[in-house]
């Protein structure tokens, strides 16, 4: 019984740590200040898409990911400023590019 409890605690703490590393707490106010037009800034959308694509590539080759800025804050800002329907329509316009494979990776 004690071993089972220890295993459950270990699994939960490991999962928690992995998620904290993947989605760390960030200050979205400082990131939002970089863009005059807020979420309508094409530069913010492109940087967020680049961060997303880079992390998807890291994930595809088995490396840890870290959504630590542009993408996370853009999503949080969209969520706070738009309804669910508006947010879906808005995010479909973000230029998420296909990741290019290099040497089969």
Regarding pTM above 0.85, the answer is no
* pLDDT in the model for residue 45: 86
Q: Is residue 97 part of a domain?
A: no
Q: What domain count does the chain have?
A: 1
For residue 55, what are the domain limits? 2-92
Q: Is residue 103 part of a domain?
A: no
Output the six-digit token pair for 100: 């290019």
Output the six-digit token pair for 12: 């939960």
* Among candidate residues 12, 13, 11, 30, the one with its CA nearest the CA of residue 72: 30
Q: Is residue 42 part of a domain?
A: yes
Q: How far is CA 18 from CA 9, 22, 60, 72, in A?
A: 14, 6, 16, 16
Q: Count Cβ atoms below 10 Å from residue 46 Cβ, excluding itself.
A: 15
Q: Is residue 105 part of a domain?
A: no
pLDDT in tens, 4-59: 888 888 888 888 777 666 666 778 888 888 888 887 888 888 888 888 888 888 88
Q: Is residue 56 part of a domain?
A: yes
Residue matched to tokens 């200040």:
33
pLDDT in tens, 64-105: 888 778 888 888 888 888 888 888 888 777 766 554 555 555
Q: Is residue 98 part of a domain?
A: no
């Amino acid at each position: 019984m004690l071993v089972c409890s220890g295993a459950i605690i270990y699994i939960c703490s490991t999962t928690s740590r992995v998620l904290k590393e993947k989605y760390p707490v960030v200050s979205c106010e400082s990131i939002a200040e970089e863009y005059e037009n807020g979420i309508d800034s094409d530069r913010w959308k492109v940087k967020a898409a680049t961060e997303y694509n880079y992390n998807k590539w890291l994930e595809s080759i088995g490396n840890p990911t870290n959504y630590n800025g542009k993408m996370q804050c853009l999503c949080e800002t969209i969520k706070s400023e738009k309804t669910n329907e508006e947010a879906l329509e808005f995010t479909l316009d973000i230029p998420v590019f296909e990741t290019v494979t290099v040497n089969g990776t």
